[in-house]
Each structure stands twice: as structure tokens, then as C-alpha cells.
Amino acid sequence: MENITTATLLVVAFSVLSISTMMIIKTPEMVTGSVFAEEDDKDYNVILLSIDTLRADHLQCYGYGRETAASICELAEDGVLFETCITNSPWTMPAVMSMITGLYPLNHNVIRRPDSEVGSLSHSKKTLAELLKGDDYAPASFVANKLLAKDIGYNRGFDTYIILDDEKAENLTNLALEWLEENRDEKFFLWLHYMDPHWHYGAPYPFSEIFTAIPHCSQLDDRLKHNAERVKSEKCVDSLIARHDNEIVYTDYAIGKMIRYLKDEGLYDNTIIIVTADHGEGFLEHDHLGHGNIYYDEALRIPLIIIHPDYGKGERIEDQVSLIDIMPTVLEFLDIEAENLDGESLVPLMENETVDKRPVISQGHLRRISVRTDEWKFVDKTWENGTHRKELYDLVNDSSEKTNLYDEMVDVSEYFEGIFREHFEMYHHNRTEDDTNSIDMEKFNEMLRSLGYMT
């Protein structure tokens, strides 16, 4: 780890101090947690922690050289880490909806269309919160990305759904802990969506000092994200990465605070915890910064760590999985039925069973899609100006996705185009009127602009 300085020591001191202020005087009943856990799986609480803009390979438990995520990686020692989790979209809205519905973007309808509209969740679909609420869970969510709006349907099933625009990670954790204090005697489902690693990168002090940026790079303006040429010419990419990594350390600190609370209050051993992200972030690996329209692994490969008291203990699973698998996995843990999900439960993998390999489809726009297997990635993109590009990468021999084999490997390309066509036939050509509802685009385009998605 580089730049271990007084800033790092300050972070540690800060952590201890803040955690101690959260200590609550416990009665013996409070310490016990649920006494029914061994008799009835349904008494497990569920906490879903999603982090905006966090690629897997920026965490040390996924091989990163910097120690950005001590708490998350310590958590992984108690659970199962999925080495190859692929998001179902390189931008927030479709990806998060896939996470909480178990459905592909084309199926849940929250996807950008050629007319630039974004759909809202089809009325006929159910969210994880709706199903858990039907099973007597107390559902609550605190999200720090304003794109996760109620108009779209992200709040469906939640009794408490609080959107805090770009709220700092520690504040988000604190609000959730306040809610937990009030509701800990209920069987709860808590979802937090942290926003800090998303552009703009600006972790609070002392986290801002852990990995250092070159001063002139820190002063580049907010449109930096769209200015790959300038970042390249001024040699600022390492500085951007340093600032982004500081945000990861800060978010990890806030998650650590949540975990410490659960342990101190006797809730940890009776709670299923899932840590993941909506998508990653590009840092010029393919001449792009940010995410949104990038289908390379820097934008698609995200962390997935599942802690369940009965499974794993530092186990790592290499099989490719995706965000849509989270909901069916939680439902199987809790023995709750659901029909017609696109994702599949990961419980068989966690029980070391052999399962069929599945391609993962990622899509943020009706006309931009990728299909990925362990060996290949196929990408088909059409732009507003009519430009059309198809790509095929051999992930075994070219994991950095540099050589486009689309024209050379005709049979492989045709195979993936078949999957692509089937996917559209299944979900797009059979849509009903109810499945095509959309939202107030003027308002949403303004939000997208403020987050740097539109210039």
C-alpha cells in the first residue's frame, strides 16, 4: 500500500471514535438477537449494501494492489465471494432495477430508448421488497442516488424509502442505524445504496489524503469525466484513480461502521448481508472515462459478496454470475416462492453443486447490449447518428479486450448474434401496453446531466 501516512492513522482513530459514539447500552434481550434462527430460516434479517460505481478489481480481495476495502474484505472472510459477477447494465438505473427485481433490463423496462426516454418498472413485475414485505419483513431503504426515484418504481414494497441526493456514506449508514434502532425487533430488510465512488470524486478529510492526486489534476473542472483527451495529455488518470480510491476507502469505512453495529448488538449472526455494486468505472483502459456506455469489463465486472450464517467462510466461487441472481438467491434462502425471474439462485453454487453455465446479458440502451460468457464477450452498439459497431473478444487470451475478433471468428459471432436475437424476441417483441410506460423525461434528463451522463 502506498502513502500510508498520518492520514491513514487518522482514519483509524476516526473510525474507533465514531463507532464508540454509536454504542448503545444493551439489555440482555437486545444482545441475544433472534433465538429462533436455528428453527426457522425465515427469521434471518436481510441487508443489501450496493455501492455505486465500484469495479471489482479496485478491492484488495479481488486482487487490487491498494488496500481500499478492509471492512468489505474482512466481511468476505465470513461468507462467499463471487470472483466474476457481471452487472446487467453499465449504468445505474437499469442495473439497480435488475438487482431488485431479478429481471433483465429489457424485461423490467427501465432502459433508455432511441427517443432518449427511460421506462419505468412494469406494473406486472414485483420487487424483492414487495415479496419480503408479503412475508412479514419490515422493509426500509436509504439511497444516495437521486436517479433511484419513486416514479421509476425503486420504492415498490418499501414502507420507508428515503432518497438523499449524493449523501455521504457515513451519514447514510447513520440514518440506517437510527432506523435499525427503532425496528431491530422486527424481521427486517434493509437496502442501502452508497454513492461516494461515483463522479465527482471528493472523499472527506482524512480519507481524501490516503492516495494522493497531483495538485494540478485536482483542479481540473467538473467536465473532466467527459474529457478523456485532456486527462490523457495532462497525465491525470492516476490522480483520478487516487481520488476514486479514496472514496472507496471512505465508503468501506461507513460499511465497517454498520457491520460493527450489527456485531455489537448481536444481530450479525442472524443477518444475511450482500455487498455489491451497480457497475464499474473506466479509467482510459479503452480511451473512455466513467461508465454508462462502456461494455468492457472495467464497467461490467463488479464485486459480489454474500454472507449467510450457514454458508461459506472465506469461500470463493469463480463461475460467472450476475446482479439478477441476487433476488432469487435471497428468496431461496428465505424459502419464498417467485415466478418468472430471469436470474437464478446462487445457492446450488454455494453448496458446491455443478450448475449449467449461463451467458450474462448487459444492456443500458435498447440498441446497446453485450453478451458475456467465461470465454467470450459479444457487443452490439448502435448510436444516435446511425453508427453501428459489433465487437467480439476472446476473454481467455485477451482479458483486457483489445482485439476485436468479430469479423474473424464468424461462427462464434453468429452464435452470439443468435442469443442477442432470442433475447429481443423473448422480451421486446412480446411487450404489452402496460410494459411500455415511461416517465417525465424533462425532469430526468436534468438529473442525468447533473450526474455527468449527458453533456
Min dist CB 137 to Zn ion, Å, is 25
Q: How many residues bind Zn ion (CB under 5 A)?
A: 3
CB of 52 to Zn ion, least distance (A): 4
> What is the closest distance, in whole angstroms, from the C-beta atom of residue 91 to Zn ion in the complex?
6
CB 243 within 8 Å of CB 202 = yes
Is 44 or 191 the residue whose CB approaches Zn ion more closely? 191
Q: Does residue 92 belong to the site contacting Zn ion (CB under 5 A)?
A: yes
**Residue with C-alpha cell 492516495?**
211
- Nearest distance in Å: CB 324, Zn ion: 16
Which residues in the 289-318 window bind Zn ion by CB under 5 A? none
Q: Cell for 58?
A: 479496485
- Rounded distance, CA 421 to CA 424, Å? 5
100: nearest Cα among 136, 141, 134, 67:
141
Cα angle, residue 195 at apex, residues 189 and 198 outer, rounded to 5°: 145
Instruction: State which residue, 94 or 359, has the beta carbon closest to Zn ion.
Output: 94
Pick 177 or 448: Cβ nearer Zn ion: 448
Which of residues 52 and 252 has its CB atom nearest to Zn ion in the complex? 52
User: Which of residues 90 and 359 has its CB atom nearest to Zn ion in the complex?
Assistant: 90
Q: Is residue 247 at the binding interface for Zn ion, with CB under 5 A as the rule?
A: no
Binding region for Zn ion (CB under 5 A) out of 50-58, 113-121, 228-236, 370-378: 50-58
C-alpha cell at 40: 426457522
**Runs of H (alpha helix) within 297-409:** 297-300, 326-333, 347-350
**Number of residue whose CB is nearest Zn ion:** 92
Return the number of the residue (92 or 251) whose C-beta is nearest Zn ion: 92
Quick check: 278 binds Zn ion (CB under 5 A)? yes
Rounded CA-CA distance 422/193 in Å is 33
CB nearer Zn ion, residue 52 or residue 265: 52
The pairing of beta strand 271-277 with beta strand 301-307 = antiparallel
Name the residue type at position 374: D
Q: Give the span between the Cα atoms of 206 and 250, in whole angstroms.
A: 9
Of 52, 196, 281, 401, the one binding Zn ion by CB under 5 A: 52
* CA distance linking residue 411 with residue 431, whole number of Å: 30
* CB of 425 vs Zn ion, minimal distance in Å: 29
* Shortest distance in whole angstroms from residue 50 CB to Zn ion: 9
Give the sheet arrangement for strand 360-365, strand by strand.
360-365, 368-372, 376-382, 388-394
Among the listed ranges 39-47, 232-240, 275-283, 396-404, the one in contact with Zn ion (CB under 5 A) is 275-283
Q: What minimum distance in Å lies between the beta carbon of 411 and Zn ion? A: 36
Amino acid at 114: P
Q: What is the DSSP letter of 386?
A: S
Choice between 146 and 431, CB closer to Zn ion: 146
Would you say 55 and 298 are in contact if contact means Cβ atoms under 8 Å apart? Answer: yes
Min separation Cβ 199 and Zn ion, Å: 10
| Binding of Zn ion by 98 (CB under 5 A) | no
Q: Which residues contact Zn ion (rule: CB under 5 A)?
A: 52, 92, 278
